[in-house]
Structure 1
Amino acid sequence: MESIRSFIAFDIEEPQVLRNISNVQSMLAETGARLKFVKPENIHITVKFLGNISLSQVDEVYDAMKKVDFSPFEVEIRGVGAFPNMRRINVVWAGISRGADELREIFNQLESRLHRMGFKKETREFSPHLTIARVKTGYRRDELARCLREIEDYKFGVVEAKCLRLKRSILKPEGPVYLTLREKCV
């Protein structure tokens, strides 16, 4: 049976926010660090990574999504940082300064419903963010960390979160392609 790599997320579609992310990506590129930037059309807030699911599970996951109770809410995207930390940067992220509680509540509802359906619970604490770059090598990591500290409180803007989407991730050499399989809009 065919399986697909999938996750549940809110896409970021606000043009000004995407321009601001692109501006920050340009600043990061100037450090000379070896980075792979997330394309604007792929910027999102992951609520729940599912991994590989069978095609028959798509509608089951969608049923769980439909039962999530939320109203449209604002998400302020502000600040930058790194996973796992600034000494060993693997991922560069943009933070969430408003809307994190709502995202956490949606995660908790999904986690509970999906766990009852047999999905594994997340072992790490939910940390709402937008991935904007991945580090390929440690080359010029100090310059990258310095740049991140200089823009650590960068204000990207505000988006409205109203469409929760089940996404398929197709990994390709030039970067992932994300397809929306189902969505719940409020």
Structure 2
Amino acid sequence: MTAHYFIGIKVSEFIRAELSKWQDILSDSMDYKDWTATEDFHITLKFLGGCSDNTIEEYHNRLTDFEWPSSFTLSIGPAGYFGDRKQPRVFHAQVEKPSELSEIKLGIDQIGEELGFQTEKRTYHPHVTLAKKKAEGTSPLSLEQYDSLLDEHYHMDVEQFSIFRIHPGQMPKYEVAADISLKTEV
């Protein structure tokens, strides 16, 4: 059986702690089947699915050899959702999409196509998933007055992205298999 992988950006420890507070607010009003473990907070760049060790090694080699942009800062927040505002199927933290992030996404997709991976047809909406598969309740975002904490923006320096291996049924679920560094300013 082949392991499953994705490529993404790990969220900083400080932001993980802040987003965990958002989960606490959300859990007061909604129930979800899947709550993302704090250690697993990330921004997905590309889902790969099942891959052999050879395929992951080749993808890693090509990512390492690629000319990536310099490290950059991005903003995470405010809270957002996919689906119905009152009962969203996915509750997340929005992520801005600076040109560097778009450039990284494009490079990962180009390399993926060369290796036989399909490019996602949907528009890329970077985010950090906090909970998914709504069970019941009403989103705090649909209320007139919701906690202003959900409006916060946090800034994070991005110096690398990673290939993650997925371990279903474990917590945390995602393990860094390899890191790919961005250019650093001299």
If the length of structure 1 is used for normalisation, what is the TM-score? 0.86
Between the aligned partners of 1:37 and 1:162, the Cα distance in structure 2 is 27
Between the aligned partners of 1:30 and 1:57, the Cα distance in structure 2 is 43
1:70 matched to 2:66: no
Q: Where does structure 2 lack aligned partners over 5 or more consecutive residues? A: none
Share of identical aligned residues, percent?
Answer: 22
Query: Residue deviations 1:49-97, cap 9 Å, x none?
Result: 1111111111111023211512111011111111134255111110113
Which SS does the other structure have where 1:56 is aligned?
A: helix
| Structure 1 runs (4+) greater than 4 angstroms displaced | none
| Alignment partner of 2:158 out of 148, 161, 167 | 161
Contact 1:74-1:160 within 8 A present in 2 as well: yes
Which SS does the other structure have where 1:41 is aligned?
A: helix
Deviation at 1:19, TM superposition (A): 2.0
Which SS does the other structure have where 1:6 is aligned?
A: strand
Q: 1:102 to 1:65 in 2, by over 3 A?
A: same
1:83 matched to 2:79: no
If the length of structure 2 is used for normalisation, what is the TM-score? 0.86
Q: After TM superposition, list the pairs within 5 Å mapping 1:52-131 onto structure 2.
A: 52-66=50-64, 67-86=66-85, 89-97=88-96, 99-131=97-129
Aligned residues: 179
Contact 2:86-2:142 within 8 A present in 1 as well: no
Which SS does the other structure have where 2:112 is aligned?
A: helix
1:34 matched to 2:27: no
- Who is 1:132 aligned against? 130
Deviation at 1:13, TM superposition (A): 2.2
- Who is 2:175 aligned against? 179
Q: Where does structure 1 lack aligned partners over 5 or more consecutive residues? A: none
